[in-house]
Structure 1
Amino acid sequence: MTDDDSVLVRTEGRAAYLTLNRPRALNALNHAMVLRLGAALTAAERDPAVQTVVISGAGERGLCAGGDIRSIYQDVRSGGGAASAAFWRDEYRLNARIAHYPKPYVALMDGIVMGGGVGVSAHGSVRIVTERSRVAMPETGIGFVPDVGGTHLLSLAPGELGTHLALTGTPVGAGDALLCGLADHFVPAGRLPGLLADLADAPVPEVLPRYVGEAPAGELAAHREWIDHCYAADSVEEILDRLLGSGAAAAKEAAATILTRSPTSLKVTLAALRRARHLGPLERVLEQEYRISCATLSAPDLVEGIRAQVIDKDRDPHWSPATLAEVTESDVARFFAPLGAQELSFAADPADPADPADPVQEVPW
C-alpha cells in the first residue's frame, strides 16, 4: 500500500468521501494519513461543487483505533521522538481545522473509535454513532495522556463523566457517547450505506432525518451519583479512596482499572482536564496537549506502556514511578512546561492548512 492508498478520496455529486484505509491496522493514523486528510480537506473546501465532507473507515471493525503506536515506540527508541513530535504538530492542527471546517463534516463513528480516531471525528459538525460504536480515550493504559483535543471534549462532558472516561479509558457505546457530547446522532449500522449514497444528492439537513433513530440505552446515566461525587475529588488518590468507599460495585471496578494505569499519566491527565475547563477554545487546549505529548517522549512510561500492550503483549507494564505516592507535583508540572521555539501555536487562522515553513517528516508514530 502506498501513502496515497492509506486515505481514499472520491467525490460523488455534492459530497467528498474520505476513507481511512488501513483496515488490517484498524485504520491507525500515521503522519502520511494526516497530511493526506489535510490536502483532501483543502481540495473539498475550494471545490464549489462539494457541499459535504464525509469521513469513514475501511473494513468492518471501526473508523480508527488511534495512532500507529508501534511506530512511536520505534521512533522514541531510535530517534528520540522527533518524528512523533512532528506528527502531533500536524495532527493537532488537523483536529482544529476539522472543528472550524466551513462545510458540513460528517463523521461515521461506526465500530472502534479511539484516540486519534476521536480527533478526526468528534470535532466534526455532524457526528454519527451506531450500535457497534465503541468510543474511548484509552491513553493512560499506555503511559500517555488523552490528546487530539480529547481533554477539551471530556472536560465539557456533564458532571465528572469526562474524568471517569479519561482516567479509566473505558469505551462507551452510542448512548453514552451521545450523553457525553462525543456524538450527535444515532443511525443503525445497516442504514449507513443509504445515508452515504443520499448525501451525494442532497444536503445533510434533508438527508439525516430519514436515517436517525433512537440510540440503545447507555450505562453511565445510572451511575452519575457516584461518578460525580468520586471524581470531583482534588487528587487521583482521593478519587480512588472515594471509589473504593462508595459501596457501588461499578465504582470498585473503576478503581481496579485505574490502579493498572500509569500513575504519572493519571496525575497529568487529571491536571490537564481541570486546566482544560478554564483554557477556553479548543486551540488553547491543543497547545497544552502538545506540551504534554512532547514531554512524554522523554518520560519512561510511554515506551514501557506500548511495549507491554502492543510489542511484547505481556500486559504487565512496569511503571516508573510505580505508585501514585511517588509522583510529585514537580513531576506533573514538567509536562506543562513551555516548549519555547517548539511550541504549537494557533496564532493564525486554525482553518488554514499547516504552515509550509514547518518541517514535515512523513514518519508515522
Structure 2
Amino acid sequence: MVAWRRFLFALPLLALPLAGASVALASDAIELAQAQPQAQPNPAPSPTPSASPAPATDTQPAAVEPIGNVATVTGIATVVRDKNSYPLRVRDDIYLNDVVQTSSNSSLGITFNDATTFNLSASAKITIDNYVYEDGGKQNSAIFDIGKGTVAFVAAAVAKTGDMKIATPTATLGIRGTTGVVDVPEGAAASAANNVNIKLYPDADGRVGHIEVNDRTSGTRLGALTQAASGFAIRPGAGSTGGMRFAAVPITIAPQQIARDRGFVSQVHLAQTTGRQIVTEQRDFRRANPAAISRIPRPTQPPQQQQLRPTTAPGQQPQRPNGQPGQNNRPGQQQPGTPGRQGAQPP
C-alpha cells in the first residue's frame, strides 16, 4: 500500500520534465519558424531579347544604264570609255560621255533609247555630252558633239518632246524633229576657210522638220533651214567689235551631192529601224539578266551630264552671250548671212 502511494506521488514528478521538454521543443519550433526567411517568389524570367536586325549594308549605287546600242558596223569603229578604247560590235551598249569614232573605210550606226539615230561615215567622231530621256517626259534633252567627219542623223522623241542639240566646232544646231547631214572638216575653226556644212533632208515618211543654227560661242541665232535639200555653210564673219563671228551662208547643193546625201540618209533610216529592235531586245535582256556582264566594261563612275561649252579661237576674246544656244537675237540685231535659197531663212 505504501509502495502504491509512492508510485502515484512520483508520477506527476516524472511528468514535469516531459512537459518542460515539450515547451522547449515548442519554443524552439517557434524560434525556428521565426528565423526562417520568408520565401520570395522566383522572379519571372525576363523575356529573351529579340535578335537585333543586322546592320543594313551600304546601299549599292545603281548600275549605270546604257543610253543606246550599236545598230550597224562596217569596218573598224571604236568607243573611248574611261580613257580606254574598245572595238565596237552590233548590239554593244553606248553610255553617256562615250566618244565613238570610225576609221577609214568604215561606218557606224547608233540608235539611242528614244530612237534618235546617227550614222557616222569614215573618219568621223561624236561625243555624247548629254542625254536625258523618259518615255512620255517633257524634260528630255540631248547634246551630241560632232568633232569631225560626215554624219547623218534622224531625230526622234527627244527632239519632239524636249531639247536636242548637235554641236560642231563653230555652230550649234537646234534640232526640231528632222533628218539632216552635217559635214565637219578636220580642223574646223573660226579662222578656217573650209568650215561646217549643214543640210536638211526629208524624214522617211516625207515630212521635213527644221534646223535652227546658232553661233556656238555667243549663242547668236544665224538662221534656220526649213526646206528639203537646203543647206548652210558656216563661214567666218566680221564682228562689230573686232571679234570673229560666224555667218550662215546659204548653199546650193549640186544634184550629184544630193544623190550621195540621200544614199547616206537612207542608211541612217535603215539603221534606225534595225536599232529600235536592238534597243528593245537589249533592254529586255538586261531586265531578265541583271547580273549579266557586258562584253565592254561599263563606266566605272556615274557619268556626268556636261554643259555645252562655247569654243573660242586662239587669241580671240569670247563674246558676251546674249542667251543660250537656240534663243533669238536681241531686237534690232542684224543677222549675218544673206538668204539666197528657199529654206535658208534669216531670223
TM-score range relative to shorter protein: under 0.3
Please state which structure has a larger fraction of its residues in helix: 1
Which of 1 and 2 has higher RCO (CA within 8 Å, sep 6+)? 1
Question: TM-score, structure 1 length as denominator?
Answer: 0.26
Larger radius of gyration: 2
Question: TM-score, structure 2 length as denominator?
Answer: 0.27
